[in-house]
Amino acid sequence: MIENYKGWVITLTWDDNHSFLNKSVSNISYNQKEKWKGVNLNGKSIYGASLKEIRHIIDYPLLHK
């Protein structure tokens, strides 16, 4: 867990060091938009490219539908 923000647990799904050290086909296929993941108490998940983007989605959910 990186952070708990307004009831959402935000984690880093993969780290940049791993993608640079191990150049395999599976690492190249990672989507930058799924680098960060937020999960609330109900189990709803959201994904984003940065911690800032995840916080923005949590604060303004209607802008990201």
Give the bridge partners for 52, in sequence order.
none
Q: Give the global pTM.
A: 0.69
Pairing of the two strands 8-12 and 36-39: antiparallel
2-48 tens-digit pLDDT: 899 999 999 988 755 444 444 444 444 556 678 899 999 999 999 99
Q: What is the total count of domains within the chain? A: 1
Domain span holding position 13 = 3-64
Say if residue 59's pLDDT is above 70: yes
Contacts of 52 (CB under 8 A, 6+ apart): none
User: How many other C-beta atoms can be found within 10 angstroms of the C-beta atom of residue 54?
Assistant: 23
pLDDT value of residue 17: 47
Question: What backbone torsions phi and psi does residue 54 show, to the nearest 5 degrees?
Answer: -60, -45
pLDDT value for 55: 95
Q: State residue 30's pLDDT score.
A: 56
What's the Cα-to-Cα distance from 61 to each of 17, 19, 23, 65, rounded to whole Å? 31, 30, 35, 7
pLDDT reported for residue 15: 58
